[in-house]
Structure 1
Amino acid sequence: MRLCINWLPLRPELTRSVARRAEDMGLWGIGIGDSPNYGELYSACADALAVTSSLVVGTSVTNPITRHWSVAAAAGRTFEDAYPGRFRLGIGRGDSAVRTFGLAPAGLSAMERFLATFTENVPTVRTLVAASGARTARIAGRAADGVIAGVGADTVAIRTIGAAADVARAPGRERTEIWASVRLAVGRDDTEIARLRRALVPRAVSASHFAFAATFAGKNVPEHFQSVLTERYAHYDYTAHGVAGKTSNATMFADRPDIEDYLLNRFAVVGSPGDCAQRLSQLSAHVDGIYLSVIFEDALAQLDAIAEMLSAS
């Protein structure tokens, strides 16, 4: 089971600590997010690579709007020269990283051109596309090595994305890797687990907004939730994207605990070490690897709890 910690670079020294700890635990990799109000993406990748010897480090994910392909290519060449085979480029159309600044996500053709140009210039660096629907997944099949399925732990929706990527794959290209992406919080008792579930509500809402705001097609969303989700997403606040506390996003479904529970159960894995290990093991049977977004404010303590989870698996 290939597990990759998703990380937002709060501080360089903390990024280095998280990377070292992830490698010591035997995790496969660490993905560095490209989001406003955090540290510089490629600097954080360099920090993580420099203090580890086998950990795979990638962008999870950057975008073609705020990062020109030449910047990504320069970083890719630098990392490939210094740490061969240990850097991956993950790219999406752009969510909080662009909308926070009043910019629109990249068009699909622009993203495909970015990937083609990057690969032409840095052919040895593997690439992944973040996709929540079939159209973007087809780009991964044509132009990338893998797809990060941004639809939570729903295996029906993950298979839909994987099938779209596979159909678009050109003759002679390797099979497209399929990666799941979930929020993870491991608790040691019922009180802590309940607290962690509440803490992950805004993260689950932000993940669901990315997955569902454009369309529900092929995403296996219960029909009786769709109209409520559409109405509430119209008021999504990007300035509070993934932010802890009682933001408007965190309380978006406070009057609908059934929807809150659905989003948490789909986009987050929360529970005891044994329960989390079981859920991830079940999910891993359907994918090549799993990106795990931890609670960044409590990262080192959560990594300790994840180590317990791994020992329970």
Structure 2
Amino acid sequence: MEFGVTFQTDPPAKRVIELTRRAEEHGFTHAWTFDSHILWEEPYVIHSQMLAATERIMVGPFVTNPATRDPSVTASVFATLNEMFGNRTICGIGRGDSAQRVLGRKPATLGQVERAMHVIRELAEGREVDYDGTKVRIPWVKDGRLEVWMAGYGPKALSLIGRKADGFILQLADPVILEWTKKRVHDAAREAGRDPREVKICVAAPAYVGDDLAHQREQCRWFGGMVGNHVADLVARYGEGSEIPTALTDYIKAREGYDYSHHGKADNPTTEFVPDDIVDRFCVLGTVEDHIAKLRTLEELGVDQFNVYLMHDAMGETLDAYGEEIIPALSRTARSEGSQR
């Protein structure tokens, strides 16, 4: 299993660049950033500096969307960064929850996301696309390569991921929900004639290493609120008692609105409805040993990358714990199991 880390692009940007360099030194393979241009600093400008400060780590948005950013422009950004830094970018994409809602708009449709995935990948890799009836190609792209991973929770989104995406982004670390979503992605891949193993699985969640579990929960409770926005959309679309697992939907019954001005922040006042058991299930908390145990479970369920949402008051300490203890421990387990086969 590979490891990624996601940052909010809060100022100063140099802090994100420093942490990216530190993550690469610790063995992380991917460094991602949120993409919500009103709430945080412009990610692609910072991506250029993240890439310049490192040698191997892959960099990309977690996640962009086709509504606030025209897909042809997004493709050109990736193609440019790849030309500069040797195909070291990756595109995470979704419907644009915070990026759109903070502007008073609805997230993009799945149809828009599907079209954008095609346009971004094809143009960034140098191929021609039909763009609203006009044939276009970026002429200067040579040997471009770009994977496009999609985030989603609901049945229709999971079907699209299985049919079209290079990777599946699940923003929570609950093994029960992972199994449910993974099955639907894999079923859709098979129906489309794909090998399900072609669709990489990325689980993303806040991770906080330490002994004070109560404090960790308070620092990460915001995540249950963020996930709750997507769950509320699912309930509105599919209704209660649908095929959506109750493990995902029950906890939002006490939800009363959401304050996007505190999105992704530990002090978000509209996430008090999130109970401790949801924080524990959705996040990875506790001691080093607790992290290793949960990550082994996720790995056994087929997760290709665990992505640390590094958004709390112990970023450096958690990053170091992963690099010095957790990643090496899981690597030793993988090598041991490989030698026994």
Give me the TM-score of the superposition, normalised by structure 1.
Answer: 0.87
Counterpart Cα distance in 1 of 2:243 and 2:286: 28
Counterpart Cα distance in 1 of 2:254 and 2:288: 36
Letter in structure 2 aligned against 1:249: T
Query: Any unmatched runs of 5+ in structure 2?
Result: 126-144, 331-341
The one-character-per-residue Cα deviations of 1:73-126 (angstroms, maximum 9, x if unpaired) are: 111101221223321000000111110110110011111111111122123200
Counterpart Cα distance in 2 of 1:219 and 1:308: 38
1:32 has 2:55 as partner: no
1:261 has 2:276 as partner: yes
Decide which moves more: 80-89 or 93-102: 80-89
**CA separation of 1:23 and 1:219: change in aligned 2, threshold 3 A:** farther
Partner of 1:256: none
1:198 has 2:212 as partner: no
Letter in structure 1 aligned against 2:147: R
Counterpart Cα distance in 2 of 1:218 and 1:22: 39
Partner of 2:257: 235
- Matched-pair contact (CA < 8 Å) for 1:63–1:93: yes
Partner of 2:104: 102
**CA separation of 1:71 and 1:219: change in aligned 2, threshold 3 A:** same
Counterpart Cα distance in 2 of 1:95 and 1:230: 20
**CA separation of 1:40 and 1:222: change in aligned 2, threshold 3 A:** closer
Partner of 1:175: 198
- Matched-pair contact (CA < 8 Å) for 1:132–1:210: yes
Counterpart Cα distance in 1 of 2:313 and 2:94: 25
Counterpart Cα distance in 2 of 1:171 and 1:26: 35
DSSP 3-state at the match of 1:208? helix
DSSP 3-state at the match of 1:87? coil
1:69 has 2:45 as partner: no
Counterpart Cα distance in 2 of 1:136 and 1:56: 25
Measure how far apart 1:168 and its partner are: 2.8
Measure how far apart 1:12 and its partner are: 2.0
Alignment of 1:160-309 (within 5 A): 160-169=180-189, 170-171=192-193, 175-187=198-210, 189=211, 192-215=212-235, 217-222=242-247, 226=250, 229-232=252-255, 234-245=256-267, 247-253=268-274, 260-286=275-301, 287-309=303-325
Partner of 2:167: 146
The one-character-per-residue Cα deviations of 1:201-241 (angstroms, maximum 9, x if unpaired) are: 12232223334542374443249x72x62351x42222222
Letter in structure 2 aligned against 1:81: E
Alignment of 1:3-18 (within 5 A): 3-10=3-10, 11-18=12-19
- Alignment length (residue pairs): 299
Counterpart Cα distance in 1 of 2:93 and 2:296: 26
Counterpart Cα distance in 1 of 2:194 and 2:151: 23
The one-character-per-residue Cα deviations of 1:55-77 (angstroms, maximum 9, x if unpaired) are: 11121101111111022111110
Which of 114, 137, 160 is equivalent to 1:112? Answer: 114
Query: Any unmatched runs of 5+ in structure 1?
Result: 254-259
Counterpart Cα distance in 2 of 1:60 and 1:222: 24
Counterpart Cα distance in 1 of 2:306 and 2:229: 20
Counting aligned pairs with the same residue, the percent is 28
1:51 has 2:74 as partner: no
DSSP 3-state at the match of 2:87? coil
**CA separation of 1:146 and 1:272: change in aligned 2, threshold 3 A:** same
The one-character-per-residue Cα deviations of 1:26-75 (angstroms, maximum 9, x if unpaired) are: 11111111123211111121121111111111211011111110221111
Give me the TM-score of the superposition, normalised by structure 2.
Answer: 0.81
- The list of structure 1 runs, each at least 4 consecutive aligned residues, that deviate by more than 6 angstroms after superposition, is none
Measure how far apart 1:155 and its partner are: 2.5
Decide which moves more: 138-147 or 158-167: 158-167
Counterpart Cα distance in 2 of 1:20 and 1:274: 25
Measure how far apart 1:283 and its partner are: 1.0
Larger gyration radius, structure 1 or structure 2 = 2
The one-character-per-residue Cα deviations of 1:277-308 (angstroms, maximum 9, x if unpaired) are: 22112212221111110125542233223334
Partner of 1:80: 82
